[in-house]
Amino acid sequence: MIKIDQVTRLYDGVAAVDRVSLDIADGEIVGLLGHNGAGKTTLLKMLTGFLEPSAGTIEVNGIDNQERRIDVQSLVGYLPENCPIYPEMSVAAYLDYVAGLHAVPSVRRAERIRDALLQTELTDRALDQISTLSRGLRQRVGVAQAILHEPRILVLDEPTNGLDPTQIQHMRGLIKRLAEKATIIISTHILQEVQAICDRVVIIRNGRKALDARIDELQTGHRLILCTDATPEQLPNLLPDAGIAFEVISVADATPALVDYALTFPDAVTAENHAPEVAASVIKGGARLFGLRLEQRTLETIFGEITAQREEVEA
């Protein structure tokens, strides 16, 4: 569906986006994650045809967006970070105006506006002036204008920025409903949004792709977390394989002292397969087993690890 190949964008010789490559399949919900200024918005503007790459190519559904920009834009619905809504217009009038810009046929325009209002739950606000709406409702108007022409791809730049918790929940539900019919790319610096909505995360740091992985695979660690009363000196003799690396991650203030160890394996499958053997060996060796589980990582932990790794490389 989307193929981004070695895309770079320079401003006065400085790379805002630096040789980024991505393949996004039909129906995916992809979170584009990174600090403010990481290059997310610049990448999205190139994808949607509002900026030209300094180098590299972007194809949407097999169409080069530099050679056939209008054709690509007809496939894409875009909610910019600061959506250009007109406060003096009513919601319905604004959507009618945007439908004209998208060249929605006049015979279908009323139907498309009605459908967009229904999907964004704005039907009862259709005649309200946009200036009277809350921030959350204005964001929904922004989404409504993005879906008027029934795009196959939705690009949402910071869709929950500035919303209160209730409005965030409404926006998440809306995005999940829209994902039933479109590929969605969400740009944000909020970790919880990606974790709550997306199938896949792409982390951008200083204009470069630092990570590209599925959320479910990413959060399953390759370490077993073992809680036992065995000391660090005793543990190597209790493990089934003396080559298993381990580290102490916490010591509980209890009698006897309970220690949490992280046992490292090549991957999550190997760790899971070794779990029964580890448990049996610890008990057979005379230590008490209080817990054994496969490590589950959060996006916050992963993002911190990537940031730390990049800082070490740059140092």
For 241-262, write each residue's pLDDT tens digit: 767 889 998 887 766 789 999 9
- Provide the mean pLDDT of the chain: 89
Q: Give the domain ranges of the chain.
A: 2-217, 221-300
What string of DSSP letters covers 190-237? -HHHHHHH-SEEEEEETTEEEEEEEHHHHHEEEEEEEEES--TTTHHH
pLDDT in tens, 78-95: 998 887 789 999 999 999
d(CA 217, CA 186): 19
Top mean pLDDT of 5-19, 154-168, 248-262 is at 5-19
Reported as a pLDDT band with limits 50, 70 and 90, residue 308 is: low
Give the count of beta carbons closer than 10 Å to the beta carbon of residue 149. 20
* Cα–Cα distance, 194 to 188 (Å, whole number): 8
* CB distance 164 to 141 below 8 Å: no
> Nearest CA to 115 among 145, 135, 77, 90?
145
- Beta-carbon contacts of residue 136 (< 8 Å; ≥ 6 apart): 163, 164, 166, 167, 170, 171
pLDDT at 312: 46
pLDDT in tens, 42-101: 999 999 999 999 999 999 999 999 899 999 999 999 998 887 789 999 999 999 999 999
> Quick check: 154 pLDDT over 60?
yes
Q: How far, in Å, CA of 152 to CA of 171, rounded? A: 19
Q: What's the average model confidence in pLDDT over 299-313?
A: 67
Task: State the pLDDT confidence band at 222, using cuts at 50, 70 and 90.
Answer: confident
Q: CA–CA separation, 39 vs 153, rounded Å?
A: 20
The secondary structure of residue 129, as a DSSP letter, is B
The side-by-side arrangement of strands in the sheet containing 245-252 is: 245-252, 258-264, 220-228, 289-296
Return the CATH fold of 2-217: Rossmann fold (3.40.50)
Predicted TM-score (pTM) of this structure: 0.77
Q: How many CB atoms lie within 10 A of CB 305?
A: 12
Domain 221-300 has CATH 3.30.160: no
SS3 23: strand
Query: Strand pairing partners for 50?
Result: none
How many whole angstroms separate alpha carbon 33 and alpha carbon 226?
Answer: 32
Is pLDDT of 34 > 90? no
pLDDT at residue 148 greater than cutoff 50:
yes
Q: What are the Cα distances from residue 142, in Å, to 76, 130, 180, 243?
A: 14, 11, 19, 56
Enter the tokens of residue 236. Answer: 């190597």
Is the C-alpha dihedral spanning 250, 252, 253, 258 positive or negative?
negative
- CA dist 89 and 103 (Å) reads 20
**Lowest mean pLDDT, pick from 88-102, 165-179, 252-266, 282-296:** 252-266
DSSP secondary-structure letter at 69? H
* Whole-number pLDDT of residue 269: 85
